[in-house]
Amino acid sequence: QRPVLRLLSCPGTVAEDLRRDEQPSGSVETGFEDKIPKKRFSEMQNERREQAQRTVLIHCPEKISEKKFLKYLSQHGPINNHFFYESFGLYAVVEFCQKESVRSLQNETHAPSKGMEVAIPFRSRFFNLKLKNQTSERSCVQMSNQLPPSSKKLFEVLCDAESVDDQLNALLKEFQLTEENTKLRYLTCSLIEDIAAAYFPDCVVRPFGSSVNTFGKLGCDLDMFLDLNETRNLSTNKTSGNFLMEFQVKNVPSERIATQKILSVIGECLDNFSPGCVGVQKILNARCPLVRFSHQASGFQCDLTTNNRIALTSSELLYIYGALDSRVRALVFTVRYWARAHSLTSSIPGAWITNFSLTMMVIFFLQTRSPPILPTLDCLQTLADAEDKCIIEGNNCTFVRDLNRIKPSENTETLELLLKEFFEYFGNFAFNKNSINIRQGREQNKPDSSPLYIQNPFETSLNISKNVSQSQLQKFVDLAQESAWILQQEDLGGPSMSGNQPWGLVALLLPSGANRKSLGKKKSRKPASEKVKVLLESIKSNRTENFTNTNGK
């Protein structure tokens, strides 16, 4: 069945009858549309959370028979689905059909028999399975991959593509989060929620950021939000007759101090009692206080925050933008990968551009196309109904939540053209005087002298790229100009013209300078063998390796 694209229009700008069953000719079909969620964000989050609550994580012996393993677990109830993966050992994620099965399994589980060390008793949903007879089983399980492809594999895939558009879609396919990886992310949040629930029984730990906003790549960090709203609402809603009952609570002078106290205690708890959570750091003096830790079994680097509802809302907004048009994610993934390949982004915090800022730049760029590929946030606000109304800490976070109410764009530009135009647009952007603003989809005067100013869509007085230095911005501009130029040269050729030479996206990923020398004069290109050598050297170089070994930031 052909996916129906839901694109956009503001009321009054595109006629009602533009809604089509077919994609407009020339629009991109990635083949992954069925992976793009069309549900409301809140619906998707609730469904996945409920699934995760029926799921367990099991560390398995190296050699295990899948059939016997499943038979053994089925004693506790039917299994909905499961998968195995490797991360310093073999792990299984098993989703039961009913929550009761998890309880039944827990009831049958023993505390580990101790040697010299003493176990802190904790009944979690993270288990260790041992074989009574070590030698009888043979390993025969299929592994689900949780890692991004190596640069070598990616280059092979890109070289096999038939067009630049194919290359961008292939890159997306290689890097996007898989169904299994997404399940593992929700499960990890759910396991952390169990810990936090020891203090706050009605809390919810929700993933946000790239894990859920459709722009996550394999290996990206896991941003979590400890939502205590339910707990807070309990103390305000229950009134009856002339009486008002309140909980006795401790009071602190500010919201920030409350956040710091809560995170401090949860951090201690994760450090002391939570199996698999290591390297716990409390970063409580940051603008947005957080607890950072590594969840060993899943391999995720986790950032836990609380009182961070706006970030969850911005994830929801990005989710909508990512789901509206199949070109958006392909372009965002490509720009992020390109930036990482040229060390414009880094896993270390600093003066670099972040993935989040790059995503905003792509969204903004797509809003400026004619006709626009993405609607402005103001436009999404006008489409909102009463249910969508949302004010957080005095900030207007109202926008339409139902994807089906956003009309198709008529724009049919190819990814190749968009990529080239993206580089041209930002290679020539007046960063010295203008800011980027997805609320209006128009350049605005910069309110301060930060080199790069990207307005936070909800906290509109904040600049999401305040950290970026002038030299990092200049590096971005130089590389954007060079990349636009390379793609212009390519217009003359294409894969069929290039023989063994790197072309399209591959040429853009080579170290800067390599291209200028070799592609500078179309007619005096280096011999194919030499170009391939450059490519292979770049694959081998640390620099190129770096960009697949980091967590994508």
In the complex, the residues that contact Mg ion under the rule CB under 5 A are 209-210, 221, 223
Q: Which does 464 bind (CB under 5 to 8 A by kind): Mg ion, ligand CTP, none?
A: ligand CTP
Q: Judged by CB under 6 A, does residue 227 bind ligand CTP?
A: no
Give the DSSP letter string of 392-445. Answer: ETTEE------GGGSPPP-----HHHHHHHHHHHHHS--TTTEEB-TTTTS-EE
Min. distance of Cβ 222 from ligand CTP in angstroms? 9
When CB distances are held under 5 to 8 angstroms depending on the partner's kind, the choice from Mg ion, ligand CTP, none that residue 315 binds is ligand CTP
Which residue carries 């070289």 as its tokens? Answer: 159
Answer yes or no whether residue 210 interacts with ligand CTP by CB under 6 A. yes
If one asks whether residue 223 binds ligand CTP (CB under 6 A), the answer comes out as: yes
- State which of residues 148, 209, 441, 502 lies at the interface with ligand CTP (CB under 6 A): 209
Query: How far from the centroid of its chain's Cα atoms is residue 227's Cα?
Result: 19
307 binds ligand CTP (CB under 6 A): no
Q: Cβ of residue 186: shortest distance to ligand CTP, in angstroms?
A: 15
Label residues 397-433 b or e (16+ Cβ within 10 Å = b): bbbbbbbeebbbbbbebbbbebbbbbbbbbbebebee
Looking at the Cβ atoms of 27 and 176, the one nearer to ligand CTP is 176
305 binds, among ligand CTP, Mg ion, none (CB under 5 to 8 A by kind): none
CB of 185 or CB of 407, closer to ligand CTP = 185
Are the beta carbons of 275 and 122 closer than 8 angstroms? Answer: yes
* Region near ligand CTP per CB under 6 A, out of 21-29, 101-109, 209-217, 381-389: 209-217
CB of 148 to ligand CTP, least distance (A): 12
Strands 79-86 and 90-96: antiparallel
**Is 334 among the residues that bind ligand CTP (CB under 6 A)?**
no
Shortest spacing between CB 402 and ligand CTP, in angstroms: 21
**Contact pick of 307, 354, 411, 450 for ligand CTP (by CB under 6 A):** 354
SS3 of 35-63: HCCCCCHHHHHHHHHHHHHCEEEEEECCC
226 binds ligand CTP (CB under 6 A): no
Residue 28 CB contacts under 8 Å (≥ 6 apart), including other chains? 165, 169, 326, 327, 330, 414, 415
Could you say which residues in the range 450-509 bind ligand CTP, by CB under 6 A?
464
* Measured CA angle at 132 (ends 127, 136), to 5 deg: 115
Which phi and psi angles does 434 have, rounded to 5°?
-115, 155
How far from each other are the two terminal CA atoms of the chain, in whole angstroms?
36
Task: Choose which of 41, 69, 321, 356 interacts with ligand CTP (CB under 6 A).
Answer: 356
Closest by CA position to 341, among listed 49, 547, 162: 547
Which C-beta is closer to Mg ion: that of 166 or that of 223? 223
For residue 393, how far is the Cα from the chain centroid?
25
Helix (H, G, I), strand (E, B) or coil at 134: coil
325 in contact with ligand CTP (CB under 6 A) = no
Residues that bind ligand CTP (CB under 6 A): 208-210, 213, 216, 220-221, 223, 311, 314-315, 354-356, 464, 552-553
